[in-house]
Amino acid sequence: MKVILIGATGILGKNILAALKQYAHLEVVTVARKGGADLIADISSLSAIKEMYAAVGKFDAVICAAGDAYIGPFDTMTEENMYTGIKGKMMGQINLVMAGKDLISDKGSFTLTSGFISDDPVKGTINYAMVNGAIDNFVQAATIELERGIRINAVSPGWVVENYDGNMHTPTIGQYPVPIDKVVHAYYKSAFGYLSGQVFRVWEPSTQYVRK
């Protein structure tokens, strides 16, 4: 089973890759924008996405843990700033599905990344809130029309920490930290489980992470 992991050199990507390497039946093709991976591709470019798929050949799953958006105050934000997230995170991930849906194996899966900012925005993150919400809605709508048993989901991570010691504290952005293994599990469940059209909101409060 061949999996394409995009954003493999980031915090999320490195940890997802480490988890996938535990399974001998998985062949993982890593992709990054600047290097350190099997393939180089910038998902903000549709042509780069098509070249990536051509280089990979047959594949069974796509996991995307990449995509940029603009951070800055609303009173100085420009239309061009908006396009940072539109091209980098929103259309980049949508094009992964658009260009890949006819190439992926039967019963394959696409896993995209959105984020909690669309549900719990903070100052300076309008672009992230906008594109995250678009990704969530895209997967919920696309699952209705994807054929051949192809699944699609989004993972909405919280404020991710690699070494969470269990102590409750409030980071600057107002989110409690989410252990990286909990986030990685959501990506695995999305890619290799049975659900489709879901947004796995890993950051949501639970008995373990309760807002005060």
Q: pLDDT tens for residues 28-85? A: 999 999 989 999 999 999 999 999 999 999 999 999 999 999 999 999 999 999 999 9
| Spans of the chain, pLDDT less than 50 | 164-166, 168-172, 207-212
pLDDT at 112: 98
Question: CB atoms < 10 A from the CB of 55, how many?
Answer: 13
The torsion angle over the Cα atoms of residues 199, 128, 100 and 6, rounded to 10 degrees, is -90
